[in-house]
Amino acid sequence: MLHKDFLPKRKGSKAIMMTRKDYIATAEILKYASNKTHPAVFSKIVNDFAEMFAKDNERFDVKRFHEASGYNVPNFTSR
């Protein structure tokens, strides 16, 4: 869960919407770090960004962001 203070703000307390360019740049940075970071930490970071971006933009595609950042969502199966 993200703390509300981490969401971008501008004067007058209106939130600044991020752009597709920002989402792509973030995914590229995360992809670079994907094999240099402990998997549990990487998962937390990617999902925190995805949550923040989804709150910022209702059209944000979490699945596409996961793919672009190199995050493989664990596929849990039951026996």
What global pTM score does this model have?
0.74
What is the pLDDT, as a whole number, of residue 10? 52
Cα–Cα distance list, 72 to 4, 6, 22 (Å): 27, 25, 21
14, 19, 42, 46 from 68: Cα distances, Å: 28, 15, 14, 11
* Separation between Cα atoms, residue 67 and residue 64, nearest integer Å: 5
Q: 3-state DSSP call for residue 9? A: strand
Give the pLDDT confidence of 21-72 residue by residue, as tens digits: 999 999 999 999 999 999 999 999 999 999 999 998 999 999 999 999 999 8
